[in-house]
Amino acid sequence: MTENLDNSILDAPRIVVKPPGPKSLEILKQQEELETSALNYPKYFRIAVKEAKGSTIIDVDDNIYIDWFAGIAVVNLGHNNPIIRKAIETQLDKIWHYLEIPTEIRIEFMKTLRKTLNFDAKFLFTTTGADAVEAAVKIARWNTGKRYIIAFNEAYHGVTAGTVGLSNSTNHRKFQPYYDNNVIRLPYPYEYRCPFRDCLNEVLSLVEHEIKINDVAGLIVEPIAGEGGYIVPPKGFLKGLREITTEYNIPLIVDEVQTGVGRTGKIWAYEWEGIKPDIVTIAKAIGEGIPISLVAYNKDLDKLPQAFHLGTYRGNPLGIAVGNATLNYLMNSNILDRVVSLGEYAKKRFDEIMENYYKGKYDVRGLGFMIGVEFSNERKDPINVKPYIETLLEKGVIMYKAGIYDNVLRFMAPLTIPKQLLDRGLEKFEEAVKEEPRNA
Ligand SMILES: Cc1ncc(COP(=O)(O)O)c(C=O)c1O
Residue 3 has pLDDT above 80, yes or no: no
Is residue 177 included in any domain, yes or no?
yes
Strands 293-298 and 121-126, by their bridges, are antiparallel
Return d(Cα 7, Cα 39) in angstroms, integer.
30
Is residue 76 included in any domain, yes or no?
no
Interior angle at CA 124, CA 118 and CA 130, nearest 5: 100
Which ligand 1 atom is nearest residue 158's CA?
Answer: 6
How does residue 5 score in pLDDT terms, banded at 50, 70 and 90?
confident
Is residue 25 included in any domain, yes or no?
no
Residue 143 Cα to ligand 1 middle (Å): 24
Q: Mapping DSSP to helix (H, G, I), strand (E, B) and coil, where does residue 125 land?
A: strand
Return d(Cα 304, Cα 307) in angstroms, integer.
8
- Best residue among 160, 258, 412 to mutate for probing ligand 1's pocket (most ligand atoms within 8 Å of CB) is 258
Residue 4 has pLDDT above 70, yes or no: no
Residue 19 has pLDDT above 70, yes or no: yes
pLDDT cut 70: percent of the chain above it:
98
Residue type, 96: W
Average pLDDT over residues 344-350: 98
How does residue 177 score in pLDDT terms, banded at 50, 70 and 90?
confident
The pLDDT value given to residue 293: 98
Residue 383 has pLDDT above 70, yes or no: yes
Which ligand 1 atom is nearest residue 291's CA?
Answer: 10
The pLDDT value given to residue 230: 98
Average pLDDT over residues 274-302: 98
Average pLDDT over residues 114-123: 98
How does residue 180 score in pLDDT terms, banded at 50, 70 and 90?
confident
Which ligand 1 atom is nearest residue 227's CA?
Answer: 16
Is residue 416 included in any domain, yes or no?
no
Residues 6+ apart with CB under 8 A from 243: none
Average pLDDT over residues 177-204: 94
How does residue 129 score in pLDDT terms, banded at 50, 70 and 90?
very high
Which residue in 294, 277, 333 sits closest to 76, CA to CA?
333
Is residue 193 included in any domain, yes or no?
yes
Is residue 235 included in any domain, yes or no?
yes
Average pLDDT over residues 72-94: 98
Cα 336 to the center of its chain, rounded Å = 17
Between helix 419-435 and helix 386-395 the angle, nearest 10°, is 130
Residue 440 Cα to ligand 1 middle (Å): 31
Name which residue sits closest to atom 3 of ligand 1, judged by CA. 157
Residue 20 Cα to ligand 1 middle (Å): 28
The pocket around ligand 1, CB under 6 angstroms, is made up of 128-130, 133, 156-158, 222, 226-227, 255, 257-258, 283
Residue type, 207: V
Is residue 319 included in any domain, yes or no?
yes
Question: For the CA atoms of the chain, what is the radius of gyration?
Answer: 21
Dihedral of CA atoms 241, 242, 247, 251 in degrees, nearest 10, equals 100
- What range defines the domain where residue 317 resides? 82-332
Q: In the chain, how many domains are there?
A: 1
Name which residue sits closest to atom 4 of ligand 1, judged by CA. 157
Cα 251 to the center of its chain, rounded Å = 22
The pLDDT value given to residue 438: 52
The pLDDT value given to residue 167: 95
- Best residue among 156, 166, 282 to mutate for probing ligand 1's pocket (most ligand atoms within 8 Å of CB) is 156
- Best residue among 157, 230, 253 to mutate for probing ligand 1's pocket (most ligand atoms within 8 Å of CB) is 157
Return d(Cα 321, Cα 327) in angstroms, integer.
10
Name which residue sits closest to atom 16 of ligand 1, judged by CA. 258
Q: Mapping DSSP to helix (H, G, I), strand (E, B) and coil, where does residue 42 land?
A: helix
How does residue 353 score in pLDDT terms, banded at 50, 70 and 90?
very high
- Best residue among 284, 313, 316 to mutate for probing ligand 1's pocket (most ligand atoms within 8 Å of CB) is 284
Which residue in 327, 329, 288, 322 sits closest to 414, CA to CA?
288
- Give the bridge partners for 372, in sequence order: 365, 410
The pLDDT value given to residue 436: 74
Q: Mapping DSSP to helix (H, G, I), strand (E, B) and coil, where does residue 148 land?
A: strand
How does residue 207 score in pLDDT terms, banded at 50, 70 and 90?
very high
Residue 169 Cα to ligand 1 middle (Å): 12
Average pLDDT over residues 211-223: 98
For the chain, the average pLDDT equals: 96
Return d(Cα 31, Cα 24) in angstroms, integer.
10
The pLDDT value given to residue 174: 87
Residue 412 has pLDDT above 80, yes or no: yes
pLDDT cut 90: percent of the chain above it:
92
Residue 25 has pLDDT above 80, yes or no: yes
Name which residue sits closest to atom 10 of ligand 1, judged by CA. 129
Residue 130 Cα to ligand 1 middle (Å): 6
Please state which of the ranges 112-126, 207-221, 426-440 shows the lowest mean pLDDT: 426-440
How does residue 1 score in pLDDT terms, banded at 50, 70 and 90?
very low
CATH number, position 285: 3.40.640.10
Is residue 224 included in any domain, yes or no?
yes
Cα 74 to the center of its chain, rounded Å = 7
